[in-house]
Amino acid sequence: MPQTSTQVILVNRPTGLPTSSDFEIRSQPVPEPAAGELVVANLYISLDPAMRGWMRDARSYVPPVGLGEVMRAGAVGRVLASRDPNFAEGDHVSGLLGVQSIACVPGKGLRKVDPKLAPLSAYLGVLGMPAMTAYFGLLEVGALAADDTVLVSGAAGAVGSMVGQIAKLKGARAVGLAGGPEKCQHLVNELGFDAAIDYKHDDVKAKIKATCPDRVNVYFDNVGGELLNIALTQLAMRARVVICGAISQYNHLEKIEGPSNYMSLLVSRARMEGFVVFDYAKRYDEASQQLGAWLSAGKLSYRETVIEGLDNFADSFAKLFTGDKLGKLVLKVG
């Protein structure tokens, strides 16, 4: 009897926030793996803002997901069968396994993960792609120095929470922008940020001035839009603005709001640079070792919001945009 995979298929290109009508749930027989391929039972699927871009038929750093295709996503799972000599049945792996219960994929591009070192879902967050993004974005693109003040937006999310903690571990000051008092308390009390700004209720500019008296050396931007525009006015000399993402703009199809205050870059002799974490793939082991060491030494805290069931994909994904979650958002395969 062939196995069956439950798959979430993209059937419409969403306009605005994706809804369940943009996806269909289908059952498909799992093919026999060809040479070099693995069959993997997915256990946890990563819900990432980038997936919104992958639903759009536009030029980007990867091709869009085609209509009728399984929605692309990172995931961790257990190998059921392997025709790649680097993997064996029973191994745990992470990689682009898609929003489905069972994947048949090439072994190339997958990484082995160890459930004895950390819970498997951690390989999607504190030890996974978001943490690598924070690590390389802050240390390489942001060129962090120990006496810097780092301001990060989306600070209570998967990437932002790591940016603030890595900044602190490297001796810098960390100030986070997040939505609502609970998230702000979490940043200061649990993650060790020096200060937090509630962008939904505070006067953001006044609060940046108050919490960053020597101005901002690194602005790590996950959000774009108005927060980016305000942050640009508060840069220190030779500041680095790291363009990691712009989640406030991802559902705006017609017009993306750009920063009118960009001349602040000239005044501050600052630079603004975008990056994609995949550019650092050859150095993932280096980041994994450092993040793993910090985690085992109790130097990193993390939260996850885990929702169960592939049927809940669209509603769960929307939480990235409403902010109705804390830390890394994960879909557990039921």
Ligand X SMILES: NC(=O)c1ccc[n+]([C@@H]2O[C@H](COP(=O)([O-])OP(=O)(O)OC[C@H]3O[C@@H](n4cnc5c(N)ncnc54)[C@H](OP(=O)(O)O)[C@@H]3O)[C@@H](O)[C@H]2O)c1
Among 70, 113, 172, 247, binds ligand X (CB under 6 A): 247
25 in Cβ contact with 101 (< 8 Å): no
Q: Which is nearer to ligand X, 25 or 276 (CB)?
A: 276
Task: Output 30 or 155, the one with its CB closest to ligand X.
Answer: 155
- Least separation in angstroms between residue 276's CB and ligand X is 4
- Using the Cα atoms of residue 127, residue 128, residue 129 and residue 130 in order, give the sign of their dihedral: negative
* N-to-C CA span, the chain: 21
Q: Which of 6, 82, 100, 133 binds ligand X (CB under 6 A)?
A: 133
Tell me which residues in 304-323 interact with ligand X (CB under 6 A).
Answer: 320-321, 323
Nearest residue (CB) to ligand X, 3 versus 312: 312
Phi, psi of 136 (to 5 degrees): -75, -35
130 binds ligand X (CB under 6 A): yes
Binding flags for ligand X, 155-194, as an x/- string (CB under 6 A): -xxxxx-----------------xx---x-----------
User: Of 7, 82, 222, 316, which lies in the binding site for ligand X, with binding defined by CB under 6 A?
Assistant: 222
User: Which of 107, 250, 227 minimizes the C-alpha distance to 177?
Assistant: 227
Which residue number, 100 or 222, has a Cβ lying nearer to ligand X?
A: 222
Q: How far apart are CA 306 and CA 152, in angstroms?
A: 24
Residue 224 CB, nearest approach to ligand X (Å): 7
Q: Is residue 113 near ligand X by the rule CB under 6 A?
A: no
3-state secondary structure of 152: strand
Quote the distance between the C-alpha of residue 67 and its chain's center: 24
Q: Please report the sign of the dihedral spanned by the C-alpha atoms of residue 179, residue 184, residue 187, residue 192.
A: positive
Phi, psi of 57 (to 5 degrees): -85, 80
Beta bridge partners of 178: 198
- x/- binding map, residues 263-302, to ligand X, per CB under 6 A? ------------xxx-------------------------
Interface stretch with ligand X, choices 18-26, 106-114, 140-148, 243-251 (CB under 6 A): 243-251
Which one of 187-195, 206-214, 242-250, 253-261 is the stretch in contact with ligand X (CB under 6 A)? 242-250
CA separation for the pair 239, 22 (Å, rounded): 41
Instruction: Return the HEC string of 264-284.
Output: HHHHCCCEEEECCHHHHHHHH
* Binding interface with ligand X (CB under 6 A): 48-50, 130, 133, 154, 156-160, 178-179, 183, 222-223, 244-248, 275-277, 320-321, 323, 325, 329
